[in-house]
A and B are shown apart, each in its own frame.
Chain A
């Protein structure tokens, strides 16, 4: 009886770069709406009603664009060794953004034309929101280590044939 042979290497089918760029671009649009458009519109709405939050529209715009672009780049470069570092970068920027909000997370605003001041603390919420990017950052680190140790090992599972 002959010894069992090692299973043949798994195959994978990676979409072309052009396809990934196109799909990434389409994915970028809702991300920009979610991370930039809606928050900016909300801030502008509040400002037009005399309620000024410590978070500026510029900060929201820059951070939102940075996260959306990094997330898109991560998608486009998923088959490459850049995927892990880009995942880490996306998570790190998201964490930095949330920490920026965390620092000024007690909002006190005055109701226009009334001597009423309302304060809301969102520190706990930001703390909860930090969990997801923190876990994603660890996932990115693990993927980076995996890609360094055994390049292309994950491709058959990320892009099954």
Chain B
């Protein structure tokens, strides 16, 4: 039996309509969330497939007795959603797990469909009294911790932490300074000073090595300078005669040397003179 149209299309009661509205809203909300989730996952896969990379890392002497380690992080975001609050922190410990330095950048936002090359640089102290002094003369494995944070697609906080060991080549590895026997001639006293080291760093050392011979009571007996041009893996071995001040004996004192070059002024560990 076919019902008349007024009966077939009579308006549902209010409570029924209210419940139906909530059910439809629930279905729409679920569908929207699932569509968002699907597009977010797809976009995340695209970001991973775009191959974020880190490269061009280099180390060089810098001002204030430091060595600057710098590099470039390349990121692409081909997805539909931005990566916001993106920041990276780097912390470096020496081989004995003593804190050397840290660096960070960000936060930045990588908009959807953008690519960005981010320069990162941090500085390790090389001062002769600090824990970084060993970086000058000792090859070692540095403990490098990198961690980053970001929020992906507005909703997903993401963090990543990487801990790794990086070999460090000392720019003045096996540093050896020796002062020979003082000889006296008609023009005065001279002391032969021999300085040797290997450049295990990945950069060429180009500059001068200024040094002074100090007596046991810290009076300068004489000073000189040597030109330095040592490529990575190269050996420096030079001897020079240093004229001594009249009546000043370096015996029992020490030799202080400063490397000036590559944009920095780096004091080397003092060497005792027997």
Contact = CB atoms under 8 A, between A and B. Distances in A.
A132 B29 contact: yes
Contacts of B10: 7, 10
Contacts of B27: 132
B227 interface: no
A142 B164 CA distance: 58
Contact of B33 (A120, A132, A138): A132
A128 B15 contact: no
Contact of A157 (B12, B155, B162): B12
A22 interface: no
A116 interface: yes
Interface size class of A (residues with CB under 8 A): 35 or more
A30 B162 CA distance: 41
Contact of B15 (A114, A136, A146): A146
Interface size class of B (residues with CB under 8 A): 20 to 34
A34 to B, nearest CB: 11
A121 B156 contact: yes
Interface in A142-161: 142-143, 145-146, 149-150, 153-154, 157, 160-161
A118 B15 contact: no
Given A142-B18, A143-B19, A132 B3 contact: no
Contacts of A50: none
A7 B8 CA distance: 11
Interface in B3-22: 3, 6-8, 10, 12-13, 15-16, 18-20, 22
B22 A135 contact: yes
A129 B15 contact: no
Interface in B240-265: none
Interface string B148-167: 00000011111111111000
Nearest to A134: B26
Contacts of A157: 12, 16
A139 B23 contact: yes
Nearest to A120: B158
B54 interface: no
A160 B22 CA distance: 21
Contacts of B45: none
Contact of B30 (A125, A132, A154): A132
B12 A154 contact: yes
B23 A135 contact: yes
Contact of B8 (A129, A145, A153, A160): A160
A106 B151 CA distance: 13
Contact of B26 (A106, A122, A136): A136
B37 interface: yes
A11 interface: yes
Contact of A7 (B7, B15, B26): B7
Contacts of A150: 13, 15
24 contacts: A7-B7, A7-B10, A8-B7, A10-B7, A106-B157, A115-B164, A116-B160, A119-B160, A119-B161, A124-B155, A125-B33, A125-B37, A125-B155, A128-B33, A129-B30, A131-B26, A135-B25, A136-B22, A142-B22, A145-B15, A146-B19, A149-B15, A153-B13, A154-B12
Interface of A: 7-8, 10-11, 106, 108, 114-125, 128-129, 131-136, 138-140, 142-143, 145-146, 149-150, 153-154, 157, 160-161
**Complex A-B, nearest 6 residue pairs according to Cβ-Cβ distance, in ascending order:** A124-B155, A139-B22, A135-B26, A146-B15, A121-B157, A132-B30
